[in-house]
Amino acid sequence: MLASTLETSDVLLQVNGLKKYYFIREGIFGGVTGSINAVDDISFTVKKGETFSIVGESGCGKSTTGKCLVRIEDPTSGSIVLNNKNITSSHGKELLDLRRNIQMIFQDPYSSLNPKHTIRESISEPLVNFRIAKGAELEKKLTNLMEIVGLSPKYLDRYPHEFSGGQRQRIGIARALAVNPELIICDEPVSALDVSIQSQILNLLKDLQQEFQLTYIFISHDLSVVHHISDRVAVMYLGRIVEMGSKTELFNNPKHPYTKALLSSIPIANPDIDNKQDRIILNGDVPSPRNPPNGCYFHTRCPYKKEQCENSYPDFTSISETHKTACFYVNEI
C-alpha cells in the first residue's frame, strides 16, 4: 500500500523529507566549511505491525536514519510523525515517552549492556527508570522477559561476558521489550552472528512481532536477512532512498540499477525469488556524503548512465501503487 492509500489508523510512523547533515567546522574560528549529508531528504511511511527494512552499503545513512527516529540525533530538517503526533522536536516528558515507545536494538548488544552490571540490573534499569515495575512485580516481569526471549531466568545474575553473541542479542531484545514499545528499530541485529544463530534470532523477532503486535524498522546491509524478515524494503544510496517496494516487488522486479546490482551480487537460496539477473559489477566505492556527485548520486557507478544522469537528480517513478524508484531510465534498462 502506498502512504496515500493507507487508512490513517494503519499508519504508525510517517517520515517526511528527513535530512541529517553533520556540519564540518574548521579553522581557528571554527566556521562551517562543509557538511556530511548523512541522510539527504528521505520520506517513508511505516504501517502498524509490519517490518520495514532499510538496506544499503556501509555509510549510506541507515543508522543515522534510525538515530533520528529515536532522537539520539536531532534531524536537520524534515518531520517525523508517530501515531499522528509530530515528534520531530519533542522534548521533556514527550521525548521520554517517545524513547519508551521507540526502542533500538544494536548490532553488538555487548556495547549497549554495561559489562559491570548483571543481566538483572541491565533489564531492570528501563523498568525502574520508566516506573513500570518494582518489587515483586519487577521480579515477575524479569522472569517473564527472560522466558519470552528464550533464556532461563536463572541466568539473571550473570554478567554479559558469560553469554554468547546470540544470547546477548536475546538479552538486548528483552531489554528493548521491557518497556512495551510499539516500534523497535533493529540496527543490524544479526550481522555479528553466525548464520545458524542469525535465523534463530530472526525467528524470535518474528514470533515476538506476532505476540506483541510490534512494528519493526529493520536496518541491514544483508539482502538475504532482509528477505527473511521484511514486508517492505527501502534501498538507500548516499543518504537517499532510490527504490522502495514490497519485498516481492523489490526482490523479483528490482528497477533501480543499484538495487539490481545489489541483488545480482548475492546468491539467495530461496525458490520464491526470481533472481536470474545478469551479474552487475559495481566499480568503485560509494562516493563521500561530504561531496555527493552532481545529478543522480549513483551515476558515477551506474553501468547505464546517460548525460542527463550527470546533471539532474531523478524524481520517483511509480512502478505500481506500492513500488517506486528514482531513475530516469527505469523503463529502458
Ligand X SMILES: Nc1ncnc2c1ncn2[C@@H]1O[C@H](COP(=O)(O)OP(=O)(O)OP(=O)(O)O)[C@@H](O)[C@H]1O
36 binds, among ligand X, Mg ion, none (CB under 5 to 8 A by kind): ligand X
Residue 235's beta-bridge partner residues?
A: 55, 243
| Least Å from the CB of residue 171 to Mg ion | 21
User: Which of Mg ion, ligand X, none sits in contact with 120, Cβ below 5 to 8 A by type?
Assistant: none
Binder of residue 58, out of ligand X, Mg ion, none (CB less than 5 to 8 A by kind)? ligand X
State the DSSP code for 181. Answer: -
CA atoms within 13 A on the CB side of 255: 25
Torsion of CA 70, 240, 222, 264, to 10 degrees: 170
**In the complex, minimum distance from the CB of residue 192 to ligand X, in angstroms, rounded to a whole number:** 12
> What's the closest the beta carbon of residue 117 comes to ligand X, in angstroms?
26
Residue 258 C-beta: closest distance to Mg ion, Å:
18
**What is the Cα–Cα distance from 200 to 53, expressed in whole angstroms?**
18
For ligand X, the closer of residues 64 and 103 by Cβ is 64
Does residue 246 interact with Mg ion by CB under 5 A? no
What is the nearest approach in angstroms of ligand X to the Cβ of residue 77?
16
Q: Are 247 and 260 in contact (CB under 8 A)?
A: no
| Residue 59 contact partner, candidates Mg ion, ligand X, none, CB within 5 to 8 A by sort of partner | ligand X
Contact string 26-65 vs Mg ion (x = CB under 5 A): -------------------------------------x--
- Amino acid in the structure at residue 132: I
Q: Which does 60 bind (CB under 5 to 8 A by kind): ligand X, Mg ion, none?
A: ligand X
Beta carbon nearer to ligand X, 36 or 223: 36
Look at the block and give the residue holding cell 574548521: 26
166 binds, among Mg ion, ligand X, none (CB under 5 to 8 A by kind): none
Minimal distance, residue 213 CB to ligand X, in Å: 27
Q: Whose CA is closest to 290, among 36, 75, 84?
A: 36
Amino acid symbol at 46:
V
The full DSSP string for 142-159 is HHHHHHHTT--GGGGGS-
The interface partner of residue 22, options being ligand X, Mg ion, none and the CB cut-off 5 to 8 Å by kind, is ligand X
**DSSP structure class, residue 288:** P
Distance CA 235, CA 256 (A): 9
CB-wise, 14 or 63, nearer to ligand X?
63
| Residue 305 contacts which entry, ligand X, Mg ion, none (Cβ below 5-8 A, type-dependent) | none
> Least separation, in Å, of the C-beta of 61 and ligand X?
4
* Distance in angstroms (rounded) separating the CA atoms of residues 146 and 93: 29
For residue 290, CA distances in Å to 24, 82, 141 come to 9, 30, 46
* Measured distance CA(21)–CA(85) in Å, rounded: 24
Residue number with CB closer to Mg ion (53 or 63): 63
Nearer to ligand X (CB atom), residue 19 or residue 99: 19
CA distance 287 to 302: 12
Least gap, CB of 178 to ligand X (angstroms)? 25
Closest CB to ligand X among residues 64, 275: 64
Provide the binding-site residues for ligand X, judged by CB under 6 A: 22, 36, 38, 56, 58-64, 221, 289
Residue (21 or 251) nearer to ligand X, CB: 21
User: How many whole angstroms separate alpha carbon 184 and alpha carbon 51?
Assistant: 10
The contact set with Mg ion (CB under 5 A) reads 63
